[in-house]
Structure 1
């Protein structure tokens, strides 16, 4: 067993995880555009042994995903100049993830140095983020547990569900370096994201919701509230506040 296998906590999320979900053939076309920037449809088709129409369909989809952009070849005599394709900065996930990780580390350091309660502020920020993510992704309110797993997978955490008692192993972390430097901040942001998603879906967020950073070799461990004992939800708390306000008004 290698020494790296004994390290507590998850492994870094691969940079390619930050790209949209692409088919193997579409990834091959994107890689060809990266390698031969700028390039034409017929040239890509010849190098990859694909029909030009097939290449065109993949390129149109990559343009729609903002991974490839078009330009035109300088005019050479008569006729329409050829369309050229080149990768956008978003097609370089390594560069994008480095910039994102650097910004996240700087923000975590700022919170840790200036906040009177870094953990509470970090969790509150994560909670707001979780609400936005749940709204944007159209999470299924009928199955909050599955919604959390799907969202964590899309964020690059590689979650493995061990059931309620076993919790969820988070085997990757998109901000691992920042989390190791500022665990009380970054890990609370991640816990807040989960809490915000559950709140947005009207699910339980009370006792049982917890995140154990670097809990074991190869993973952090996330625990969700037991659905059999839901406790008060965000909507229950809002209703209670409204009832209290109404009672105060009627007196």
Structure 2
């Protein structure tokens, strides 16, 4: 399978400057703290000047890798800022783009059935991301909650009113998806399938159409014969303009 268009834009975090060794070290120290800490405390741990640490912390906050919050008031003066690292599942998925590229190449090169293994890996990811979330009895709410999850990961989903037809104009792993679309897109479809199954009352159909548009992928959720028929009627009344070249051969 080859990709003939550019597809989605990179997902959240794509414009981030790669972390320097020192900034990555500050982040690692921050992740090792049991509770939010001040820049002064972290400066002692990192053996850096407090102004240097504060600069790194502010950049990590801007990148979504850390959270800044005020300490509780105690005496006179403004309470100091405290910082904590975001858990990995809250951090922009761009942090794991390099790992995704390595794993995709491994699956594509060694698996007897890359798509099957990609779907299975994505399903495990979806179950992990939805672990502990109670399912809803409303299928539409389940679809909406899945879209919220995809938003957090960095897909920027754009859906119709019933959350059936979804455009994905961004992808956190788009560079790797262009190289190994069968693997990366399979992982994302597996994630959507397992996530929707965990969040809803009953299985709903999930279909991902990678690079279906020049600037987006498409995701169909819970499509039934009735909704498909309605879409066909609407298309007949209002024909769509000619689409882009086929995304895959």
- Does the pair score TM above 0.5? yes
Pair 163,215 (structure 1): closer, same or farther in 2 beyond 3 Å? farther
Unmatched runs of 5 consecutive residues or more in structure 1: 1-5, 19-33, 38-62, 75-81, 230-251
* Shift in Å, 1:209: 1.6
What is the aligned partner in structure 2 of residue 119 from structure 1?
115
Give, in whole Å, the separation in 2 of the partners of 1:197 and 1:122.
15
* Shift in Å, 1:135: 1.8
* Shift in Å, 1:226: 3.0
Report the number of matched residues.
Answer: 174
What is the aligned partner in structure 1 of residue 189 from structure 2?
191
Give, in whole Å, the separation in 1 of the partners of 2:219 and 2:93.
24
* Shift in Å, 1:16: 7.3
CA contact (8 A) 2:118 2:190 kept: yes
Partner-residue secondary structure (3-state), 1:125: helix
Give, in whole Å, the separation in 1 of the partners of 2:36 and 2:15.
16
What is the aligned partner in structure 2 of residue 212 from structure 1?
209
* Shift in Å, 1:216: 0.5
* Shift in Å, 1:70: 3.8
What is the aligned partner in structure 2 of residue 151 from structure 1?
149
1:179 aligns with 2:177: yes
* Shift in Å, 1:217: 2.1
What is the aligned partner in structure 2 of residue 235 from structure 1?
none
Pair 14,68 (structure 1): closer, same or farther in 2 beyond 3 Å? farther
The structure with the largest alpha-carbon Rg is 1
CA contact (8 A) 2:136 2:200 kept: no
CA contact (8 A) 2:107 2:118 kept: yes
Give, in whole Å, the separation in 2 of the partners of 1:178 and 1:138.
33
What is the aligned partner in structure 1 of residue 220 from structure 2?
223
1:10-40 residue CA offsets vs partner (Å, 9 max, x unmatched): 101131799xxxxxxxxxxxxxxx9xx9xxx
With the length of structure 2 as denominator, give the TM-score of the two structures.
0.57
With the length of structure 1 as denominator, give the TM-score of the two structures.
0.56
* Shift in Å, 1:223: 0.4
Pair 156,83 (structure 1): closer, same or farther in 2 beyond 3 Å? same
* Shift in Å, 1:205: 3.7
* Shift in Å, 1:71: 2.8
Give, in whole Å, the separation in 1 of the partners of 2:184 and 2:37.
29
Unmatched runs of 5 consecutive residues or more in structure 2: 17-22, 27-32, 66-91, 227-249
Give, in whole Å, the separation in 1 of the partners of 2:173 and 2:180.
10
